[in-house]
């Protein structure tokens, strides 16, 4: 059995490594570029709308989930351990130039996030508890008419995002606590289950409430911690910041390498920067739209702008802060990828002192905690597409909670590889859907733009008899009068 398990794990690792290093990365980039061109670069042309999209986002939800809560759910999942260990790994394997290509990928990914989140809103449905459900499973089934593809995406996400990703996040938390403070993994497992059970058992609405409190606050605390290091360095040794920024640009174009190594250096930086950037902000993978589709908004495009802002915050802000922190503390980067997990924490300790170790452990703990229940919510949204049974839904929430405890103690190499494979396949399905339904996004954007030009402060969307749309949206969510309720309550 051991030999069979090892062989399967090895095969999965080979497939996922190829998928994530080549196929999926280039597919995500190509789809992002295509959407940017087709939609007229909404992340640039409507930059003001993107950066002001949070205004009024906490209002107008009624009994549902506000636009801000949906944004916070995405932030809670996106801004996680990947922003700490993932950036460090990109620097070690791709050099400082990988960060430059992370920026480029994020700018492209903002268009992808806008498109998939707008579609999640367009084809969302009303759930029995008064909230909405939307995402790739819904727009594949109701928008493209591909019910089987919608089901397949849902099944992948129910297992991979909803069940195994929380296990992996919690595993990282328990491993960090054990390595840094000698805390037994069973203690971490017990604490995690006690803390996460009330959130997950509460369902999507429970996740939204906790994410609204923890997600933005946690991101702010982490950014503030890195800024303290950067600002301190700015006054004490500004040349270190200059050197860090210069190394990002020069390494991005291979200017640091010898003549024979320029092409290889650029390629390596692009691959690692693109890979870590895409899987940090999740644009195109079809995960974040599950949160975006739950929001109660007056126009689908407004939530598209909010989720586009989430990509900017995740990669351009948080990942850049992490990268500068590491490059300031470690101008000569380590070569061992195994050092990635502790590199950020050691950088903070090197600059601010050893007293920061408990602080960084706490930040990693909360990052893992919020990422776990945020990822669960994606699986729950997809489960609600597959079945409306309250009993099945409750059983799923209990299983996910228990798996978080298992994840704190178990070796997850096989689980991680299988999860990566399913998430990658779900991402491919999602991108096929994005290409097929891009005309709906363009039409919704044209509707929003025409209303703004006509002087509307909060554009209101109507999904029936709208001459700008390719057809009618029959879910009833966007019938005349529905979106006006959100706008009149002060929502977006």
CA-based R_g, the chain, Å: 22
State how far the Cα of 99 lies from the Cα of 342, in Å rounded to an integer: 19
Which of 416, 424, 315, 413 lies closest to 20 in space, CA to CA?
Answer: 424
What is the DSSP code string of 453-484?
Answer: HTT-SS-----SS-TTSSS---SSTTSTTHHH
Distance between CA atoms of 420 and 104, rounded to whole angstroms?
A: 24
d(CA 68, CA 80): 18
> How many CA atoms within 13 Å lie on the side-chain side of 61?
22
Report the pLDDT value the prediction gives residue 279, as an integer from 0 to 100. Answer: 63
Q: Give whole-number Cα distances, 282 to 51, 286, 331, in Å.
A: 19, 8, 29
Per-residue pLDDT at 259: 39
Cα 21 to Cα 233: distance, rounded to the nearest angstrom: 35
Has this prediction a pTM greater than 0.75?
Answer: yes
pLDDT of residue 261: 46
What backbone phi and psi angles, to 5 degrees, belong to 126? -90, 130
pLDDT at 275 (0 to 100):
63
Alpha carbons 211 and 205: distance in angstroms, whole number:
10
Instruction: Please report the sign of the dihedral spanned by the C-alpha atoms of residue 289, residue 294, residue 295, residue 301.
Output: positive
CA distance 23 to 284: 13
Residue 141 is predicted with a pLDDT of 92
Q: What is the number of alpha carbons within 13 Å of residue 210 lying toward its C-beta?
A: 24
314-345 burial, b at 16+ Cβ within 10 Å, e below that, comes to bbbbbbbbbbbbbbbbbeebbeeeebbbbbbb
Cα–Cα distance measured from residue 381 to residue 398, given in angstroms and rounded to the nearest whole number: 16
For 132, the token pair is 């909405």
Return the pLDDT at 182. 77
Yes or no: say if 290 and 38 are a contact pair by the CB < 8 Å rule.
no
Q: How many CB atoms lie within 10 A of CB 481?
A: 8
216-219 long-range CB contacts below 8 Å, 24 or more apart?
A: 216/72, 216/75, 218/76, 218/79, 218/363, 218/366, 218/367, 218/370, 219/75, 219/79, 219/313, 219/318
- Per-residue pLDDT for the chain (492 aa), expressed as one digit of tens each? 566 656 776 777 777 777 766 677 788 888 999 999 999 999 999 989 888 887 766 665 565 677 777 777 776 676 666 666 667 777 777 777 778 888 888 889 899 999 999 999 999 988 877 788 899 999 999 999 999 999 999 999 998 888 888 887 777 777 777 766 777 878 878 888 888 888 887 777 667 777 767 767 777 777 888 888 888 887 777 788 888 888 888 877 765 544 344 444 555 566 666 666 666 667 878 888 988 888 888 899 999 999 898 888 888 888 888 888 888 877 777 666 665 556 777 777 777 777 777 777 777 777 777 788 788 888 888 998 888 888 998 898 888 888 888 877 766 666 667 777 888 888 899 999 999 999 999 999 999 999 999 988 888 888 888 899 998 888 778 887 666 666 555 456
How far is 346 from 214, CA to CA, in rounded Å?
A: 24
Exposed e or buried b for every residue in 158-196, given b needs 16+ CB within 10 A?
bbbbbbbbbbbbbbbbbbbbeeeeeeebeebbebbbebb
Q: How far is CA 145 from CA 123, 336, 426, 434, in A?
A: 11, 48, 17, 13
Hunting for tokens 């702008």 — which residue is that? 305
CB 156 within 8 A of CB 425: yes
- Give me 73's structure tokens: 């759910």
Q: From CA 204, how far away is CA 198, in angstroms rounded?
A: 12
* Dist. CA 205–CA 73, nearest whole Å: 10
- For residues 282 and 26, give the distance between their C-alpha atoms in angstroms, rounded to a whole number: 14
């Amino acid at each position: 059995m051991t030999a069979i398990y090892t062989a399967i794990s090895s095969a999965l690792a080979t497939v996922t490594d190829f998928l994530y290093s080549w196929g999926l990365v280039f597919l995500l980039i190509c789809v992002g570029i295509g959407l940017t061109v087709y939609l007229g670069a909404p992340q640039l042309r409507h930059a003001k709308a993107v950066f002001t999209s949070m205004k009024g986002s906490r209002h107008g939800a009624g009994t549902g989930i506000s636009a801000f809560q949906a944004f916070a759910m995405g932030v809670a999942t996106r801004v996680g351990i990947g922003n700490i260990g993932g950036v460090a790994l990109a620097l070690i394997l791709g050099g400082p130039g990988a960060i430059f290509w992370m920026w480029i990928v994020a700018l492209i990914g903002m268009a992808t996030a806008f498109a998939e989140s707008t579609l999640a809103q367009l084809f969302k449905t009303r759930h029995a508890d008064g909230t909405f459900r939307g995402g790739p499973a819904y727009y594949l089934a109701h928008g493209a008419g591909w019910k089987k593809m919608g089901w397949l995406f849902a099944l992948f996400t129910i297992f991979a995002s909803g069940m195994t990703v929380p296990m992996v996040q919690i595993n990282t938390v328990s491993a960090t606590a054990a390595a840094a403070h000698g805390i037994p993994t069973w203690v971490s497992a017990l604490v995690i289950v006690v803390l996460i059970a009330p959130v997950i058992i509460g369902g999507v609405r429970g996740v939204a409430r906790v994410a609204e409190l923890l997600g933005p606050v946690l991101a702010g605390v982490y950014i503030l911690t890195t800024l303290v290091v950067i600002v301190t360095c700015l006054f004490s040794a500004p040349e270190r910041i200059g050197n860090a920024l210069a190394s990002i640009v020069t390494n991005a174009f291979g200017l640091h390498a010898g003549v024979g190594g320029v092409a290889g250096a650029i390629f390596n930086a692009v691959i690692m920067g693109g890979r870590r950037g895409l899987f940090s902000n999740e644009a195109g993978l079809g995960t974040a739209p599950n949160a975006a589709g739950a929001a109660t908004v007056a126009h689908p495009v407004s939530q598209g702008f909010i989720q586009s802002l989430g990509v900017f915050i995740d990669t351009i802000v948080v990942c850049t802060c992490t990268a500068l922190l590491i490059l300031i503390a470690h101008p000569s980067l380590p070569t061992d990828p195994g050092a990635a997990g502790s590199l950020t924490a050691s950088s903070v300790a090197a600059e601010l002192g050893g007293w920061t170790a408990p602080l960084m452990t706490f930040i990693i703990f909360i990052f893992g905690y919020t990422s776990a229940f945020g990822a669960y919510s994606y699986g729950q949204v997809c489960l609600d597409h597959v079945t409306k049974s309250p009993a099945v839904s409750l059983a799923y929430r209990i299983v996910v909670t228990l798996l978080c405890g298992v994840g704190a103690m178990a070796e997850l190499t096989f689980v991680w590889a299988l999860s990566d494979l399913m998430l990658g396949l779900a991402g491919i399905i999602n991108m096929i859907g994005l290409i097929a339904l891009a005309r709906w996004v363009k039409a919704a954007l044209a509707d929003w733009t025409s209303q703004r030009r006509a002087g509307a402060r909060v554009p209101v969307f109507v999904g029936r008899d709208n001459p700008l749309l390719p057809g009618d949206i029959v879910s009833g969510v966007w019938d005349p009068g529905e979106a006006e309720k959100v706008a009149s309550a002060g929502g977006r």
